[in-house]
Amino acid sequence: MPDHLSEIIEELAIANRILGHEGVLDAFGHVSVRHPHDPGRYFLSRSRSPLLVEPSDILEYTLDSEPLKPPTLRQYSERVIHGEIYKARRDVMAVCHHHAPAVMPFAVSGTPIVPVFHFGGTFGAAETVFWDQHDEFGDTNLLVVKPEEGRSLARALGQQSVVLMRRHGATVAGSGLRDVVARSIYLCQNAEYQLRASILGTPMPLYPGEIKPAGEANLAPGPIGRAWEYWYMRLKASDGLPPRRSVKAARRAPARARPRPGGKKKRR
């Protein structure tokens, strides 16, 4: 596998752990990234708690959510969420599905999350949209495991970046891995502030004209890089990094050329 794909896979492992460490993912939930050169494929971990994901856990899937190589370990049952969103939205390069405690009161009550602080603008809408699995599929175990269920969820997401799943959780789409990590974390922070503010009175959301510029400003490369470094160092301080080439993957630095087979390394 080319070195740059190895780095993407390692960064996906780090993204899993960051989202676990920041309280977005717990024992369940998952995050994926689209293959950078083949839009018909994506990368997703085997079925494992996100805080424990390592690069060796990452599998490559078609958009039908079938693994390219026969897996020897259990896969996530809800992987169709990722594949069907990638099918429906060519602009989406990363997807996160979670059941964060900050978001669940809104998913349970049917109350939309609205952007109430400047980082709330990163989900890019005046309020979140909803999807209720029961409306189309009746009584289920609430897991999104059938392609038609994944397609229905993707339709509800539409052109938005967040869809709340009634009595279940949320799914977040992004233009890249770091983008979807930021959107997921800021969505949870926004939900916490909105709920706390509602205790004091009626929360005042961003003005409609503030949402887009606030979102674009906070998802620009500079702020995203600064936030990623912060979350990365928090994970590192907790001794939570995956056990392989973690520092290199945390920086967007060009990969160093590897010595040719049989060649000698330069001495410093």
Q: What does the block give as tokens for 20?
A: 């676990």
Question: Does residue 148 carry a catalytic annotation?
Answer: no
* 62-69: long-range pairs with CB below 8 Å, 24+: 63/87, 64/147, 65/147, 65/150, 68/41
What is the reported pLDDT for 264?
44
Distance CA(239)–CA(234), nearest Å, equals 9
Distance CA(26)–CA(17), nearest Å, equals 10
Do 118 and 206 form a contact (C-beta atoms < 8 A)? Answer: yes
Span 84-105, pLDDT tens digits: 999 999 999 999 999 999 999 9
Reduced to 3 states, what is the DSSP secondary structure of residue 169?
Answer: strand
Distance CA(32)–CA(10), nearest Å, equals 12
Phi, psi for residue 95 in degrees, rounded to 5: -140, 140
- Catalytic hit among 78, 84, 148, 210: 78
Distance CA(206)–CA(201), nearest Å, equals 16
What is the reported pLDDT for 71?
87
Instruction: Kindly tell me the sign of the dihedral angle through the C-alpha atoms of 252, 27, 65, 135.
Output: negative
Span 189-211, pLDDT tens digits: 999 999 999 999 999 999 999 99
pLDDT in tens, the chain (268 residues): 345 899 999 999 999 999 999 999 999 999 999 999 999 999 999 999 999 999 999 999 999 999 999 989 999 999 999 999 999 999 999 999 999 999 999 999 999 999 999 999 999 999 999 999 999 999 999 999 999 999 999 999 999 999 999 999 999 999 999 999 999 999 999 999 999 999 999 999 999 999 999 999 999 999 999 999 999 999 999 999 999 654 444 444 333 333 444 444 444 3
| pTM summary value | 0.90
Query: For a pLDDT cut of 70, what percent of the chain falls above it?
Result: 90
Distance CA(128)–CA(142), nearest Å, equals 20
What is the reported pLDDT for 251?
44
E runs forming strands in 132-236: 162-165, 169-174
* Strands laid side by side in the 94-98 sheet: 58-62, 41-45, 30-34, 94-98, 169-174, 162-165, 129-131
**Domains in the chain with CATH codes:** 3-250 (3.40.225.10)
What is the reported pLDDT for 73?
92
